[in-house]
């Protein structure tokens, strides 16, 4: 197991180093004097000097990078130029909102995607299958924030079932928490659900055509048993990858949905940071996101190996 994973770990570490170079390099993209560019509309000499010092702009570039990286490993993501507090604190305060949203979205996406895909595969060629395909095609093509806007119009303003904006922490109870998350999470989940439905359908269709399924059928196993115990298990191998990929996509997709639903998560934070040119915050959020995505990729590889004996013993 370790022999399989050692190269992957090393590669992930190398990719991570490159990611940090890239994120650090965002500062270098600033036109002209970065300190001046970051200081905003009415820069005072003190502000410019303090930014220059914070970013270490008077030192050579590689020194700046290693200083930044060293601070990073001790958990110091820098100080927000706008809020004046450590970026790490800002991110930790906002992270639960984004994780809650992503979690609910992933659950919705998996439930809809798996159910839709399995039904479509079982009823292949029927009107149900067609409908599933059409819906998934529409789901993939529609911007998630437009779904969000329509949900607000219909379910918040029209029917009044859910609040249109805001967030309730889990500490207030599961009910209010979920009520605030269900619309944005569904808006976010539909594209992923559509993708998952397609994958599940084709994966199940492939598996159901295999010889051992025919054998199981010939032996008189109940169709439900074949479907759930044998087919789904094998079809689930490629699905693991898709689900992990979905989580990564969702994290990237939350930005505008959070803004629309007034959710105080990482997405709203990064939007505000982009508008106030609060580069340390932007860098911090991008970095946290990259860490989550890289860890997920590694975890997927691991699960894939575990689930698939061919890879495990190959």
Partner 1 sequence: MSAITKTEVIATLAGSRPTRGRFVQRFRRQPIAVGALGFLLLVSAMALLAPWLIPHDPYQQDLARVLQTPSGEHLLGTDELGRDVFSRLIMGARVSLLAALQGTTLAIAIGLPLGLVAGYVRGRVDGAIMIVTDALMALPALVLAMAIVAIWGPSLTNAMVAIGIVTAPRALRLVRSSVLQIREETFIEAARSIGTRSIVIVLRHVLPNVVAPLIVFTAILAGTVMLMEAGLSFLGLGVQPPESSWGAMLGTSFRYISRAPLLAIYPGLAIALTVLALNLVGDGIRESIGKKLQK
Residues that bind partner 1 (CB under 8 A): 11, 14-16, 18-19, 22-23, 26, 29-31, 37, 137-138, 140-143, 145-146, 149-150, 152-153, 157, 251-253, 255-256, 259-260, 270-271, 274-275, 277, 279, 282-283, 285-286, 289-290, 293-294, 297
- DSSP for 148-180, please give it: HHHHIIIIIIIS--S-SS----GGG-HHHHHHH
Taking the complex as a whole, the smallest distance from the CB of residue 282 to partner 1 amounts, in Å, to: 5
Taking the complex as a whole, the smallest distance from the CB of residue 251 to partner 1 amounts, in Å, to: 6
Taking the complex as a whole, the smallest distance from the CB of residue 134 to partner 1 amounts, in Å, to: 10
State the residue for tokens 């105080």: 264
Query: What angle, 0 to 180 degrees and rounded to 10, lies between the N-to-C axes of helices 61-73 and 2-29?
Result: 130
Q: Considering the complex, state which of residue 87 and residue 290 has its C-beta at the smaller distance from partner 1.
A: 290
Taking the complex as a whole, the smallest distance from the CB of residue 227 to partner 1 amounts, in Å, to: 27
CA dist 299 and 69 (Å) reads 25
Q: Considering the complex, state which of residue 18 and residue 107 has its C-beta at the smaller distance from partner 1.
A: 18
CA dist 159 and 151 (Å) reads 10
Q: Considering the complex, state which of residue 14 and residue 225 has its C-beta at the smaller distance from partner 1.
A: 14
Taking the complex as a whole, the smallest distance from the CB of residue 283 to partner 1 amounts, in Å, to: 8
Q: Considering the complex, state which of residue 21 and residue 111 has its C-beta at the smaller distance from partner 1.
A: 21
Q: Considering the complex, state which of residue 93 and residue 294 has its C-beta at the smaller distance from partner 1.
A: 294
Taking the complex as a whole, the smallest distance from the CB of residue 30 to partner 1 amounts, in Å, to: 5
Phi, psi of 46, deg, nearest 5: -65, -45
Q: What distance separates the 2 farthest-apart alpha carbons in the chain?
A: 83
Q: Considering the complex, state which of residue 130 and residue 229 has its C-beta at the smaller distance from partner 1.
A: 130
Taking the complex as a whole, the smallest distance from the CB of residue 150 to partner 1 amounts, in Å, to: 7
**In b/e form, how buried is each residue of 182-211, taking b as 16+ CB within 10 angstroms?**
bbbbbbbbbbbbbbbbbbbbebbbebbeee
Q: Considering the complex, state which of residue 193 and residue 216 has its C-beta at the smaller distance from partner 1.
A: 193
């Amino acid at each position: 197991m370790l022999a399989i994973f050692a190269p992957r770990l090393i590669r992930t570490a190398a990719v991570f180093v490159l990611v940090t170079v890239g994120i650090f390099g965002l500062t270098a993209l600033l036109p002209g004097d970065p300190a001046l560019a970051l200081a905003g509309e009415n820069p005072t000499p003190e502000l410019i000097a303090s930014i220059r010092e914070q970013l270490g702009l008077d030192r050579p570039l590689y020194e700046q990078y290693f200083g930044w990286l060293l601070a990073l490993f001790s958990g110091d993501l820098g100080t927000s130029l706008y809020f004046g507090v450590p970026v790490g604190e800002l991110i930790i305060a906002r992270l639960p909102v984004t994780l809650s949203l992503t979690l609910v979205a992933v659950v919705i996406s998996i439930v809809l995607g798996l159910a839709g895909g399995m039904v479509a595969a079982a009823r292949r060629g029927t009107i149900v299958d067609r409908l599933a395909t059409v819906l998934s095609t529409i789901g993939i093509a529609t911007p998630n924030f437009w779904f969000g806007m329509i949900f607000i119009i219909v379910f918040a303003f029209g029917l009044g079932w859910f609040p249109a904006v805001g967030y309730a922490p889990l500490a207030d109870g599961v009910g209010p928490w979920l009520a605030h998350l269900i619309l944005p999470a569904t808006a976010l989940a539909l594209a992923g659900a559509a993708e998952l439905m397609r994958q599940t359908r084709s994966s199940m269709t492939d598996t159901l055509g295999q010889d051992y399924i025919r054998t199981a059928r010939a032996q008189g196993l109940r169709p439900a048993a074949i479907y759930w115990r044998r087919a789904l298990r094998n079809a689930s191998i490629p699905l693991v990858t898709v689900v992990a990929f979905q989580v990564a996509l969702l994290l990237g997709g939350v930005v505008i949905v959070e803004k629309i639903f007034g959710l105080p998560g990482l997405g709203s934070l990064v939007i505000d940071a982009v508008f106030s040119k609060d580069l340390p915050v932007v860098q911090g959020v991008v970095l946290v996101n990259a860490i989550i995505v890289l860890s997920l990729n590694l975890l997927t590889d691991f699960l894939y190996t575990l689930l698939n004996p061919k890879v495990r013993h190959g």
